[in-house]
Structure 1
Amino acid sequence: MSLVKAVTAAVAMGASMAMATPAVAAPPHPFVFVHDGFQPASQAKTAGAVTYDKSLVPTSASVFVAEARLGGKGMEKYHEGGEGHGHHWMHKGTFVFISVRGLAADHHFGVHVHTKPCGTKPDSSGPHYQNTKDPKQPSTNPKYANPHNEVWLDLTTKSNGKGWAKSWVKWNFRSGEARSVVIHKHATDTTSGKAGQAGARVACVNVPFK
């Protein structure tokens, strides 16, 4: 838990900096930072983020997404200043953070990582990324469609249209198979037969996940 809190703090600081300034220096591997404003869906070929419902995600809105990836499990040596040192466990996993501003106020959005890039149509981004793929698609079985096997980032905006969420999973994305973050109209359902569903796709953000 302390590891997750530490990464959260680092990424949140990066989010604050990104929201304050339009240009952010590219961070070193294994981090991915994306900061962009939403464009009309018709501009999907060149835009980094697009909206399909301007009443919920207007073109004046912006988004910040970050990924921090830990590649394996093992002991790592660290220093605490001076000559002090010790060891701690580094666990394999992926941390994803999202921060938005300018969205519809006081609204709960379902947010997930998807397998394909954003396109002119809402379904261009493909299905949810799953660590263990459900053999039956579209996946609505809570055995597969859950926040441990997928990356869920549901958030509720405040009265000023701002909101954020984070997710920690104990696995890494397969290379090239996680390409976007999709914002849905409603909160994510968890019931059998509807698990993972969150209504219409209202916006999409291209993210080159590691």
Structure 2
Amino acid sequence: MKRHTLAFLFATAIVLPGSALAGAGSAEAAVGPFAGARGTFGPYSEGRVATTYDPSLVPAGATGRVYSMSGKYTGTFTTLSVSGLRPERQYGAHVHEKPCGASGGDAGPHFQNVADPAADGGASTDPAYANADNEIWLDFTTSERGSALASSHVKWAFGERKPASVVIHEHSTSTEHGHAGDAGARLACVNVDF
């Protein structure tokens, strides 16, 4: 219940940019910047917001929305909502370092607050780094209509280094040593100007 309430309040703050939370000078500095993206999934093309790499699991015409708020005193809140996906199915989703590209691998590894030095710019599978406190995980299970809402809150804020996309994966995220952070194939990607 707490997770859904938080997601609702966060989405409301995004939807109502004229509110005191978003409009007051001192509150704005404390809350931090907002980012948002929404798009309709389709084949990759330059400038496309939402790309599908596996139309059988993320069909062309499905939609994805990402909202994020990051600030020094609040940490980072992120929500992902999807519609038109396969019904009653589990998916993994994470914030990634690079923008979407022609292939799922172009988005690079998961964005980590503290980067795993052993990963050397690649994917980390060490649970000390690949975890929901050091990364932004947005796993979800779709409804009978193929819709879902996922939310994440981490205690850290983006600094000069910022992520660039959210990738939807084949299955829920593993937490086991040697497989931590793994969620299978990259099915789709949403570009976000965090």
- Normalised to the residue count of structure 1, the TM-score between the two structures is 0.78
Paired with 1:12 and 1:30, the residues of 2 have a C-alpha distance of 14
- Separation in 2, partners of 1:175, 1:109: 30
SS at 1:10 equivalent? helix
Q: CA RMSD in A?
A: 2.4
Tell me, in whole angstroms, the C-alpha distance in 2 between the residues paired with 1:173 and 1:68: 10
The match for 1:149 is 134
Paired residues in the alignment total: 179
How far has the Cα of 1:174 moved from its partner?
3.0
Cα offsets for 1:45-94 (capped at 9, x unmatched) = 2201100000111111001110112223xxxxxxxxxxxxxxxxxxx400
The within-5 A match list for 1:1-210 is 7-13=6-12, 30-41=33-44, 43=45, 45-72=46-73, 92-137=74-119, 138-209=123-194
**Quick check: 1:141–1:192 contact (8 Å CA) kept in 2?**
yes
In proportion to residue count, which structure has more helix? 2
Q: Secondary structure at the match of 2:58?
A: coil
Tell me which amino acid in the other structure corresponds to 2:133.
H
After TM superposition, give the deviation of residue 9 of structure 1 in Å: 2.2
Q: 1:31 to 1:6 in 2, by over 3 A?
A: farther
Q: Is the CA contact 2:71–2:158 (under 8 Å) kept in the aligned structure 1?
A: no
Answer whether contact 1:114 1:178 (CA < 8 A) is retained: yes
Inter-partner Cα distance in structure 2 for 1:128 and 1:186: 15
How far residue 102 of structure 1 moved from its aligned partner, in angstroms, is 0.2
Q: 1:116–1:177: 8 Å Cα contact kept in structure 2?
A: no
Say which is worse superposed, 4-13 or 148-157, in terms of deviation.
4-13
TM-aligned CA distance change 1:170 to 1:182, over 3 Å: same
Which has more strand, going by share of residues? 1
Partner secondary structure for residue 10 of structure 2: helix
Could you list the runs of 5+ residues in structure 2 that have no partner in the other structure? 24-31
Query: Could you report, residue by residue, the CA deviation over 1:113-143 in whole angstroms, capped at 9, with x for unpaired residues?
Result: 0000000011000000001110122210100
CA contact (8 A) 1:183 1:204 kept: yes
Structure 2 counterpart of 1:83 = none
Identical amino acids, percent of aligned pairs:
44
Gaps of 5+ in 1: 18-23, 73-91
Corresponding position of 1:82:
none
